[in-house]
Amino acid sequence: MNFLTLLKLIGAYKVYERVLKRQVEKGEMPGHIGIILDGNRRWASKHELPRFLGHELGADRVEDVLEWCHELGIKTITVYALSTENLMRDEEELNELFDLFEERLYALLKDPRLHNYRIRVKAMGKLERLPERIRVVLSKLEDVTKDYDGHFLNLAIAYGGRQEIVDGVREIAKEVKEGKVRPEDVDQELIERHLYTSHLPNPEPDLIIRTSGEERLSGFLLWQSAYSELVFLDVYWPEFRKIDLLRAIRTYQKRQRRFGR
């Protein structure tokens, strides 16, 4: 491909992006988007590149998506960064991931957009299973942003949807045992107040996006996703583009949400 052809393709892409953006801005924007980041390793394997490079570029895409969502006025984002099952991967890969998490989380801590956009950061999962160095920076992020309510960034890390429900039920059972709650008081609202997402004004994602072509939730926000619109994209996460986000939102806008009614 020569340089002139490349310029034409870039120009066409930018035009299409602007068209898509104008289209979705006319519709109702999702207030909460959940994203299952999938395909980093397969992207690296496809291009015969080191595995860690797939994770590096995947982290870059997360930063891009946060900026794109801010541009579109989307207030809440929940990213599925690491599942409890992922913690069973080999030690070398986990160390690569933890090094990357530490680097990017400290970069986020210093990012002026965190304060300019008033982003509240919350980690969700079995954090005690993470290395102390990751818990330390997550705690710092949560502490410095605890009073923000402009945007909400939730990091599902060492997370499992079934475990989240188990943890919530255990807390409720303890309160029942202590006489703080009667069994007949247990309802959906009480359970929701004991989930990891209880701090959110809108804990249920309007739209959940999964990349890499896989069509399942893999334990992501099992309680909260009961009426979420699901969009599965046949693109690996490192290749995720702004037009992919815009297309997913356009698909969401075309659906009629009846919430079982």
What is the predicted pLDDT for the residue at 2?
56
CB 126 within 8 A of CB 163: yes
What is the predicted pLDDT for the residue at 13?
78
Q: Which of 117, 130, 12 is nearest to 82 (CA)?
A: 130
Distances (CA, A) of 137 to 34, 52, 110, 128, 162: 23, 21, 11, 13, 26
Distances (CA, A) of 61 to 58, 104, 162, 169, 202: 5, 12, 27, 35, 24
Q: Is the pLDDT of residue 4 over 50?
A: no
- What are 183-191's contacts with CB under 8 Å, separation 24+? 191/165, 191/223
Per CATH, the architecture of 32-254 is what?
3-Layer(aba) Sandwich (3.40)
CB 98 within 8 A of CB 131: yes
Task: Enter the pTM of the model.
Answer: 0.93
What is the predicted pLDDT for the residue at 12?
78
> Domain ranges in the chain?
32-254
Whether 40 sits among the annotated catalytic residues: the reply is no
What is the predicted pLDDT for the residue at 111?
96
| Of 2, 40, 64, 86, catalytic | 86
For 129-153, write each residue's pLDDT tens digit.
Answer: 999 999 999 999 999 999 999 999 9
Q: Binning pLDDT at 50, 70 and 90, where does residue 7 land?
A: very low
| Of 38, 40, 154, 244, catalytic | 38
Contacting residues for 134 by C-beta, under 8 A, at least 6 apart? 98, 101, 102, 105, 157
CB 140 within 8 A of CB 109: yes
Task: Please give the span between the terminal C-alpha atoms of the chain, in angstroms, as a whole number.
Answer: 53
State the DSSP code for 2.
-
Name the strand (E) or helix (H) holding 113: helix 113-116
Q: Is the pLDDT of residue 10 over 70?
A: no
For 33-51, write each residue's pLDDT tens digit.
Answer: 999 999 999 999 999 999 9
Please tell me the distance from the alpha carbon of residue 178 to that of residue 171, in angstroms, as a whole number: 11
For 84-116, write each residue's pLDDT tens digit.
Answer: 999 999 999 999 999 999 999 999 999 999 999
Please tell me the distance from the alpha carbon of residue 11 to that of residue 14, in angstroms, as a whole number: 5
Whether 86 sits among the annotated catalytic residues: the reply is yes
Please tell me the distance from the alpha carbon of residue 31 to that of residue 122, in angstroms, as a whole number: 17
The 3-class SS string of 6-17 reads: HHHHHHHHHHHH
